[in-house]
Amino acid sequence: MRAEVINPFIESAKTVIQQVIQITPSTGSLGVREIKLIEDYIWIQIGMTGQFSGNVVFGLDEQVALRMVSIMMGGFTITEMDEMGQSAISELGNMISGNASTLLSNQGVVVDITPPKVVKSQNDASFVSQKALCIPLLMDGIGEFDIQVMVS
């Protein structure tokens, strides 16, 4: 697994979060870990095809997702991850991945992304546990936004 694959996603996530959430996240430690679905966690899964194939999965605690969606909705307090909230957090993942694919394209790497899929339950049979290159983005007062990249 090549570490440089995750860099466009880190750069893109920092930029998008700064623009949309109005906070500058700091970068945690890069590592490899087994990705498993966790209760009360939201996962935004985006497939990649082209020169890299695999998935990018953004993971965050449901309370962190609610805080982010509340900010995205102009400060309106969101207390449950309903259809509107899922749509907003899904779009955040889509914006990050779209920008990252543009950054990859500028480096001469052709990658297409699939529409985001929000996964909430650890019982989702379509989510396969696997090893991923992971890095958390830390947002003061909001929480952690994890980026996991699994490519072949």
Question: Which class does domain 3-151 fall in?
Answer: alpha beta
Domain residue limits, the chain? 3-151
pTM: 0.90
Which phi and psi angles does 30 have, rounded to 5°?
-75, 140
What would the pLDDT profile of 4-45 be if each residue is shown by its tens digit? 788 999 999 999 999 999 999 999 999 998 887 778 899 999
C-alpha span between 32 and 40 (Å, rounded): 22
